[in-house]
Amino acid sequence: GNRATQLNTMMAASIAVVLLLTLQLLHPTTSFSTITMTSSPSPPLALNLKCKVKPTHRTKFLTAIQANQQSTRLNEPNNLQFVIGQDTEEENTFYFHEEFVNCEAFQEHMQTEHFKVYNAFVDDEEPFEEPPVICLYNLREESDDVVTKKRGVYKESFGLNVNLYPKASVRDDFLKVISDNKQGTDTVEELALQYTYGESTTIDGISEGSANTFHFHEQYKGKDHGKEGFDVHASMPHFAAWEEFVQTDPFEKDPEVFFFKIIED
């Protein structure tokens, strides 16, 4: 009995620590208003988030997050994108992708009234099965045109968020094959809407980045809620070069790939 109690206490403590760290982003405190930015202006910032919602809270959650999304798009000129997607297999697993012109714009986003309303919903309703997983990264290889105006909003599109962990010893080779893949996707594929990636970044007071950790967001259009576009992408020579690279055992740990359907009214 004592052993079981000790284990439960340890587990509760561990969960509390993880919850505190991962939900700092979702629950801003007054400390966020005193964050010291180390560079000005900072580069464009992106966020990928994965969350599992309690089935009983699905409708309320979607209402709350879509209200936050629409207000962010309409009222924040420095927000470039806010995408919500539903997992292709688990209906109550959702993914976000957000982009801001810089970290300062993201910081301002967390102080808006609509973000605070969403935060209050999360605090009051506790809609998640487990703490959301959040990835912050600076965009790479995007043109000035892309990172200075809002991206298009596409209905019936297919999305994926990806986490990759290349070994430090193959970093340069990894970046070369990724750059080629992005260039091919952006310039050749008519059904490709977006190929965004960047390296995990540190934001003082919010997030501790990890070297050689890269995050991606991609979108495709076409039949089957955009899945056609991804299938075309997977048949391209630049993707074949990527798959060849993957066969060389280049990762510190296994890639994480999450497929979803973009939700747009």
Q: Give 219-235 pLDDT, tens digit per residue.
A: 999 999 999 999 999 99
Maximum CA extent, the chain: 64
Residue 205 has pLDDT above 90, yes or no: no
CA-based angle 76:208:129, to the nearest 5? 75
pLDDT at 250 over 80: yes
**Closest Cα to residue 203, out of 126, 109, 135, 127?**
135
pLDDT of residue 252 exceeding 80: yes
State residue 202's pLDDT score.
86
CB 199 within 8 A of CB 28: no
**Residues, the chain, total?**
265
Beta bridge partners of 163: 215, 256
Q: What percent of the chain has pLDDT over 90?
A: 78
The two three-digit tokens of residue 49, written as one number = 């988030």
Going by pLDDT thresholds of 50, 70 and 90, the confidence category of residue 50 is very high
Rounded to 5 degrees, what angle do the CA atoms 226, 150, 220 make? 10
CA 258/CA 86 separation, integer angstroms:
10
75-105, pLDDT tens digit by residue?
A: 999 999 999 999 999 999 999 999 999 999 9
Predicted TM-score (pTM) of this structure: 0.84
31: which residues sit within 8 A by CB, 6+ positions away?
205
End-to-end CA distance of the chain: 52
What is the mean pLDDT of the segment spanning 39-65? Answer: 92
pLDDT at position 191 over 90: yes
* pLDDT tier, 41 (very low <50, low <70, confident <90, very high otherwise): low
Least Cα distance to 96 among 79, 81, 84 occurs for: 84
